[in-house]
Chain A
Amino acid sequence: MSRYSALEVLKGGLTGQKHWQRAWRDPEPKQEYDAIIIGGGGHGLATAYYLAKLHGMSRIAVCEKGYLGGGNVGRNTTIVRSNYMLEDNAHFYEHGMKLWEELSQDINFNVMFSQRGIINLAHSDAQMDAFARRGNAMRLNGIDAELLTRDQVKEHLPMLDYSGKARFPVYGGLQQPRGGTARHDAVAWGYARAADMLGVDILQNCEVTGFDIHDGKVQGIQTTRGAIKSGKVGIAVAGNTSRVCALAGLNRLPIESHKLQAMVSEPLKPFIDTVCTFGAGHFYVSQSDKGGLVFGGDLDGYNSYAQRGNLPMVAHVLQCGMALMPAIGRIRLLRHWAGVMDMSMDGSPIISTTPVKGLYLNGGWCYGGFKATPASGWCFAHTVAQDRPHRLNEAFTLDRFERGYLIDEKGVGPIPALH
């Protein structure tokens, strides 16, 4: 298979780009694997890749019920950051940030990680203090952070409303310069291709319908493409976590499923050069390389597994958007859609062993799991391979809710929809 490089593309230009082969194979499921990862989203594919690359495992399968990357990894608003305050989060996401910075070269697929920075806007002194607390913690943890004044914000974001009409004037903001965006599909495809090159079987249209568990130990799974044996099964199905875990008898997870919408505008010439979040409402925005403004807001009003959203939330997000940036009034919304979010009780993820031996869980990503993809795959691979967490995901256990070791970055408590 050809390595991806500019030279190969140029060569292809002379031969009608005919030399490219499949980015990943379409294999038949084998009878048995050393490890099976359920879910061909970003996390599942990354896990398979790191298992094969770092843990010397070769017989690995990823089971995906539809087409790979069809879940949240291909629906999100692509923001990547490690601007966390709480220790456990900070170290985990910063590890991820470092993986992001080398990801394109590592998997030989340009995931277009653009470190254009992210600015959280503050609209009151109290908010500035809260941001300072987080920013100071970031700095002390060795993560980049800048506390911007209003004037500095204006330099980065000239299109915001700085007139006297702004209902919640901008006071300043917390910036993480190394944060940014990446091309979400490329992350799924790139990990898939890299994993496939290491021999991982990616089984699309292969829905997991049951587990074979004996004496508290997993033996294999049932799928729409037949039974497959394995003593190690990792679940990484994001919005479907509760449903898949129920198949394994894990019935009451600290997770609720909600839908979150994303929106994109018509393509425009460069309009906004960084990622920006509104601090007085539900709106955040960045611009894709294709030119669309990509934005989103809060969860829809009721739980659902439907991957589509409703209009009231779109209207709400745009009330916020127009309040912050009245310059978007004449720009048009091109598409909006939704993904199902696995909202956890404290807003932080679970990368953990489970009460079933050989069964591992990766979930509870809320709306922040895209940025976690590399770190999550990396830590989950470690957990699956070694049957115990890595130091970086030690805190993200399934039983922390029982024990009260919450990692509540937002401080809103055990109401999943609020995180």
Chain B
Amino acid sequence: MATQSNRLPGGGEIDRGKPLTFRFDDKTYTGFQGDTLASALLANNVKLVGRSFKYHRPRGVFSAGPEEPNALVHLRSGDRQEPNTRATMIELYDGLIAESQNRGKSLRNDPQRINNLFKAFLPAGFYYKTFMGPFRNTRLWMFIEGFIRKSAGMGAASGLPDPDHYDQMSRHCEILVIGGGPAGLMAAKSAAANGARVILVDDRADPGGQLRYEQYEIDGKKGLDWINETVAGLEAMDNVFILRRTTAFGYYDHNFIGCVERVCDHLPEPEGNKPRQRVWNLQAGHVVLATGSHEQPMVFGNNDLPGIMLAGAVRTYVNQYGVVPGKRAVVFTSCDDAYRTAIALHDAGTTVVALVDTRKLDSSYAQQLLDRKIRIINDSAIVSAQGNADGVTSVEVHSLSGGGAQRLDCDLVAMSNGWAPALHLFSQSGGKTAWDADRNIFVPGDSKQAECSVGAANGNFSLKTCLEEGSAAGAMAASSTGFNTAVQAVPAVSEIHESAYEPLWECPDPAKGHPKKFVDHQDDVAVSDIQLAYREGYISVEHLKRYTTLGMGTDQGKTSNVPGLAIMAEARGCSIPEAGHTTFRPPYTPVSMGALGGAETGEHYMPIRRTAIDSWHEEQGCKWIDAGIWRRPRYYPQSGETIRDAFIRETGMTRGSVGMCDVTTLGKIDLQGPDTAEFLERIYINHWMKLPVGKARYGMMLREDGIAYDDGVTSRMSENHFVMTTTTANAVKVMANLEFYLQVIWPELRVQVTSVTEQWSAIAVAGPNSRKVIQKIVDIDVSNEAFPFMGASGCVAAGIPGCRLFRISFSGELAFEINVPCDYARYVCEKIYEAGREFDIVPYGTETLGNMRIEKGHVAGPELDGRTTADDLGLGMMMSKKKEFVGKRLAYRDSMTGENRKKFVGFVPADGKTPLKAGAQIVVNENAAPPVEMIGHVTSTGYCVEHDHPIGLGLIRGGLDAWKDRVVYMSYPLRNIIVPMKVVSPVFVDPEGERLHG
């Protein structure tokens, strides 16, 4: 087992008493509680951790935070394997397994590192210019694409179902503070002082931000102690809620912020019933963005070698994790900040070979370096680095005013080109970024939503200003949401005033050789690519990004966008703000799809809706089928029966004696009020005013454009009370439509509509013996005289009061439908079944229901396909000429009427036996070559039990008038089927309707 050769004997926020073992590739290492995977790898002197996207160049840890472009690994294994996971954000746990990615069998000997040799031939966008081939087809490209796809991509997904579960929560607050650094903590403290509900979100295990790794004193105490006290103080308040390990990833309309909490990612597996991650939907009165800033790198030749890191990150590893990532360091900077890295490294025992400063000025920290005998090379820049997969070995330094070149041996370069405020959330909120020419940074411009930025996120990097801004913003946010508070006093801090930062966006080239200078380390976008984009006219920053893929990696360009656009501005000879900034798109850092999906997936995705009689069907041994989100019995097989056997038996038994069917899923809408009849008159195409109490009527509705929409039976229970049924599929939509008409179009109508689909269960009892069965159940006389076809009445059923009985039929048989308050539905159902036993009653499912309606030529979903008119369906006669109704105005446009429309007909196979298939098209010529004229299509098919042959329904141009008894072809080329069939009336049983009325 490797030793932690780079670990300091003391210091840092790690617990040396808790050693942890972990694996990276095929080696086992140790680290400590409090480490990240990155810090533990660095502690073990592991320099090479991955390969870049395109050239497969060696990659080492680059940063210490969410901006990491390089150190991406497969975390965990098997079905928990997580690709592209940033080692800098993984909290180490015992037994952690990680693997490097985007490589062949071995990371060191990755065969694709050969790409690097050909990099001159693989400039940005080379694929747009090549691989087309001489032939006018896509074959060559698709052949090449196979290879490109395999070599592209970074990590690999396991392809196995994710075993963990996820959750979503929503919460409101007055003030949301994003970022728990000094500015954010101060803001939370002052916002919460007067009772406002405050939520503080921080993406680390513990808040503190930079104070966890900087060595400031606050109020004479260690910075960390101040943090701990402040956090404890906040935690003690009832109105403050702190979310740790939580990243605010998206800022949306209406101050809606999406956050993801990594509940169990710091553990080997989620413990107990906890979700792996949880998305928080937060909505705040005011948002304080204390999101900090990201250090920007220097752009010089081979600047992507392992061992070349951001200076702030190096300082973090030393101070927070007690790790020195190298023995001989060169610090390279254009600002004062990195001087503190030199100091930290030196004090930790590392040799600091030199600090190279691009500026001529004397840094405020210069004296401290000189005291430590660290050489400062001013007005100079690193122009190239040398090294290999094991890291940098030396750098070449040039004076920026000409002259003096020197080579410095080192195994660590800590670089800083200043800090860029993290404007992601601000920009997502709709705000425009502004260029601050004095400070050379983009800062937040005017707010579009109720938010403000503080501290480093606002471009103010000094600790004192962070605290002051935080305090003021917290108080302001509290007042703006009605909780006046005084600005909290800001503690005293130890800090020196830093001298100005003078960015150097691109270092000059060395005298000999022009090694690539990388801007986007993950995607291998170099300065030469940006210059190529410029030459080719891809000069808008958005073109630049898309053409070169700059900033398109998993880090979203947190350390490459600003340098990239500065280099483009330079090429164009314009200012940085003129070149502009690309749009920041959410999420701030990538979020797992599992978390975004939350809990409503798998079986919980649109949970099954069951009728109140569900358990009874199950006991009868039914087979289920999904009907929208409902489940319905499809058929009730007896031993050895196929579905076909079963529905033929069920149909036969029902038509021969009696059957029963659960029709609860039909939409049921209760309409009450003095204008209900008038309302129905407007909604349906037929008449309703004169429908007597105690009667039901079939109705059809059109869409506003005159197309058939929905049908069903509506009954008048009393003068002002109607009960409507809709199709199962349209129940919700029709209800919404009725609400719309009543609320928006005709608010003057005195009608109330209520969906009662869930309150009532419905059982259809059909067949010649249905009356005998029903008479045993209900307390009213159901003889033909007393209760004729289309009768509707309240009743007591099986002793249950408040039930309803309708004499309506979908099957074409003598039939009844009984509606029962759903709590009693199963009981009544059993009673009906018992009552029917002497007639061999059968329960039947959707298959038989459908077959019987096809035999009877009733239209349903396949015919009501959103393109048919009432007339097409043979219901044109129902359309009232005398009144207005929804859809009438548009129903008579030229194309909507006439002989050439496809009309509803029936089909039988010409040979009387070949089954017909729904979804077939109808053609007149058996052997035509495409394009073939299609004159209609088959919508529904079944089997006519009485006449013992297959049947079909469909639509054909000109309808029966044109085609009655003629032979056409059912064409189903998908299965190579073509069947001659005869066009017939769509009513196959009891065409006169005698049974219904009997």
Instruction: Give chain A's interface residues, CB within 8 Å of chain B.
Output: 4-6, 8-10, 12-14, 16-18, 20-26, 67, 69-70, 74, 87, 91, 101-102, 104-106, 108-110, 112-116, 123-126, 128-133, 135-137, 139-142, 145-147, 158-159, 161, 163, 165-168, 183, 185-186, 189-190, 204, 265-271, 280-281, 287, 289-291, 306, 308, 310-311, 314-315, 318-323, 326-337, 345, 402-406, 408, 410-414
CA distance A17 to B123 in the complex (A): 8
Top 7 nearest A-B pairs (CB, nearest first) are A411-B866, A329-B162, A132-B919, A404-B893, A291-B153, A329-B594, A142-B930
Closest to B130 in A: A6
B561: interface (CB < 8 Å): no
| Complex alpha-carbon distance, A131 and B593, angstroms | 29
Residues of B with Cβ closer than 8 Å to A?
53, 80-84, 118, 120-121, 123, 126-138, 141-142, 145, 148-150, 152-162, 164, 166, 168, 250, 252-253, 256, 258, 279, 281, 428, 430, 528, 532, 535-538, 540, 542-543, 546-547, 549, 552-554, 556, 583, 585-587, 590-594, 596-598, 600-608, 625-626, 703-707, 709, 861-862, 865-867, 890, 893-896, 917-921, 923, 930-932, 934, 937, 971-975
How long is the Cα–Cα vector from A281 to B605 in the complex, in angstroms?
10
Question: What is the CA–CA distance of A158 and B157 in the complex, to the nearest angstrom?
Answer: 13
Q: Which of B546, B919, B971 contacts A131 (CB 8 A)?
A: B919
The reply to whether A411 and B865 contact each other, CB–CB distance below 8 Å, is yes
A10 pairs with B866, CB closer than 8 A: no
Question: Do residues A319 and B705 form an inter-chain contact, with CB atoms below 8 A?
Answer: no
- When A and B form their complex, what is the total count of cross-chain residue pairs whose Cβ atoms lie within 8 Å? 365
Contacts of A145 in B (CB 8 A): 974
Residues of B within 8 A of A315 (CB): 168, 279, 596-598
Q: Are A267 and B706 in contact (CB under 8 A)?
A: no
Within the complex, the shortest CB–CB distance from A221 to chain B, in Å, comes to 23
A16 near B53 with CB under 8 A, answer no
Do B626 and A402 have beta carbons less than 8 Å apart? no
Can you give 5 contacting A-B residue pairs, CB < 8 Å?
A4-B128, A12-B123, A268-B83, A269-B150, A411-B865
User: When the two chains form their complex, are residues A327 and B158 in contact, meaning their CB atoms are under 8 A apart?
Assistant: yes
Contact in complex: B602, A140 (CB < 8 Å): no
Say yes or no: A112-B921 contact (C-beta < 8 A), given A136-B974, A320-B605: no
**CB-defined contacts of A17 to chain B, threshold 8 Å:** 120, 123, 528, 532
Which of chain B's residues has its CB closest to A410's CB? B866
CB atoms of B150 and A270 under 8 A apart: yes
Cβ contact within 8 Å between A167 and B605:
yes
Pair B155/A266 contact, Cβ less than 8 Å: yes
Name which residue of chain A comes closest to B127, CB basis: A110
Alpha-carbon gap, A204 to B543, bound state (A): 12
Q: Is the CB of A319 within 8 A of B153?
A: no
A114 in complex: contacting residue of B123, B136, B145, B602, CB < 8 Å:
B145
Q: Which of A17, A113, A168, A345 has the most CB of B within 10 A?
A: A17
Q: B168: which A residues are within 8 A, CB to CB? A: 315
Is the pair B129, A411 in contact by a Cβ cutoff of 8 Å? no
How far is it, in angstroms, between the C-alpha of A337 and the C-alpha of B427 when the chains are bound?
A: 13
User: Across the interface, which residues of A come within 8 angstroms of B920, CB to CB?
Assistant: 132-133, 136
The CA of A413 and the CA of B737, in the complex, are separated in Å by 13
A413 near B703 with CB under 8 A, answer yes
Q: How far is the CA of A406 from the CA of B171 in the complex (A)?
A: 45
Nearest CB of chain B from residue A166's CB, rounded to whole Å: 8
Partner of B153, one of A20, A26, A268, A328: A268
Known: A22-B537, A319-B601. A136 touches B921 (CB 8 A): yes
Residue of B nearest to A346 (CB): B705
Residues of chain B with a CB closer than 8 A to A135's CB: 919, 974
Nearest chain B residue, comparing its CB with the CB of A404: B893
- Inter-subunit contact B549/A290 (CB<8 Å): yes
CB of A326 within 8 A of CB of B141, answer: no
A413 to B703 CA separation, bound complex (whole angstroms): 7
B921 touches A140 (CB 8 A): yes
Which among A16, A145, A333 has the greatest number of chain B C-beta atoms within 10 A?
A333
Residues of A near B84 (CB, < 8 A) are: 266-268, 332
Partner of A328, one of B157, B553, B932: B157
Shortest CB-to-CB span from A138 to chain B, Å, is: 9
A329 and B592 contacting across the interface, CB-CB below 8 Å: yes
Find A139's partner among B145, B535, B893, B974 (CB 8 Å cutoff): B974
Taking CB atoms, residues of chain B closer than 8 Å to A105 are 132-136
Asked if residues B919 and A129 are in contact (CB atoms below 8 Å), the reply is yes
Give the residue name and chain of the B residue nearest to A24 (CB).
B537
Contacts of A146 in B (CB 8 A): 974
| Bound: A126/B556 CA distance, A | 44
Q: Note all chain A residues with C-beta closer than 8 A to B258.
A: 311
Cβ contact within 8 Å between B593 and A23: no
| Chain A residues whose C-beta falls within 8 Å of the C-beta of B606 in the assembled complex | 167-168, 280-281
Partner of A110, one of B82, B128, B532: B128
- The answer to whether B626 and A330 touch across the interface, beta carbons within 8 angstroms, is no
Instruction: Report Cα–Cα, A329/B591, bound state, in Å.
Output: 10
Extra A-B contacts (18), CB below 8 Å, given A132-B917, A269-B156, A334-B556: A5-B132, A110-B127, A130-B865, A131-B919, A132-B972, A136-B919, A142-B931, A165-B603, A167-B604, A266-B154, A269-B154, A289-B127, A290-B549, A310-B252, A328-B157, A410-B866, A411-B866, A414-B705
Which residues of B sit under 8 angstroms from A5, Cβ to Cβ?
Answer: 129-130, 132
Which of A10, A25, A330 is B158 in contact with, Cβ under 8 Å?
A330
Task: Pick the residue among A132, A163, A336 that contacts B585 (CB under 8 A).
Answer: A336
A271 to B155, CA, bound (A): 11
A280 CA to B126 CA in the complex, in Å?
40
Q: Tell me whether A140 and B536 are in contact (CB under 8 A).
A: no
Q: Are B162 and A136 in contact (CB under 8 A)?
A: no
Which of B554, B626, B937 is A267 in contact with, Cβ under 8 Å?
B554
The interface residues of chain B lying within 8 Å CB-to-CB of A128 are 919
* Contact status B528-A269, CB under 8 Å: no
| CB within 8 Å for A332 and B121 given contacts A139-B974, A270-B150, A290-B153 | no
Given contacts A113-B141, A133-B937, A318-B596, contact A413 B154 (CB under 8 A): no
Query: Hey, which chain B residues are within 8 Å of A318, CB to CB?
Result: 593, 596-598, 601
Q: Contact: A269 with B153, CB < 8 Å?
A: yes
Bound-state CA distance A145–B919 (Å) is: 14
Say whether, besides A140-B934, A332-B590, A333-B590, A123 and B626 are in contact (CB < 8 Å): yes
Question: Would you give the shortest CB distance from B75 to chain A, in whole angstroms?
Answer: 9
Contact A112/B161 with A131-B919, A266-B554, A269-B155 known, Cβ cut-off 8 Å: no
| Shortest distance between the CB of B356 and any CB in chain A (Å) | 27
Q: Is the CB of A112 within 8 A of B127?
A: yes
Interface pair A267/B152, CB less than 8 Å apart: yes
The CA of A251 and the CA of B361, in the complex, are separated in Å by 63
Given A266-B154, A290-B549, A311-B250, A327-B972 contact (CB < 8 Å): no
The answer to whether B549 and A319 touch across the interface, beta carbons within 8 angstroms, is no
Give complex CA distance A312, B722 in Å: 37
Instruction: Out of B149, B600, B896, name the residue touching A291 (CB < 8 Å).
Output: B149
Evaluate whether A102 and B256 lie within 8 angstroms (CB atoms) in the complex, with A9-B123, A20-B535, A136-B919 already known. no
* A319 to B156 CA separation, bound complex (whole angstroms): 22
**Once bound together, how far apart are the Cα atoms of A238 and B741, in whole Å?**
32
Contact B159 A158 (CB under 8 A): yes
Contact between B540 and A322, CB atoms less than 8 A apart? no
The distance from the CB of B357 to the nearest CB of chain A, in whole angstroms, is 31
Closest to B587 in A: A333
- From A268, A306, A334, A413, B157 is in contact (CB under 8 Å) with A268
Select B536's contact among A23, A158, A204, beta carbons within 8 Å: A23
The reply to whether B83 and A331 form a contact with Cβ atoms under 8 Å apart is yes
Chain A residues within an 8 Å CB radius of B937: 133, 136-137
Give Cα distance in the complex from A271 to B159, angstroms. 7
Q: How far is the CB of B847 from chain A (nearest CB, A)?
A: 10
Instruction: Tell me whether B148 and A322 are in contact (CB under 8 A).
Output: no
Is A161 a contact partner of B592 (Cβ separation < 8 A)?
no
Instruction: Say whether A327 contacts B256, CB under 8 Å.
Output: no
- A104 engages B132 (CB within 8 Å): yes
Known contacts A16-B528, A140-B973; is-contact A327 B132 (Cβ 8 Å): no
Q: Given A9-B123, A266-B554, A310-B252, does the pair A413, B705 have CB atoms closer than 8 Å?
A: yes
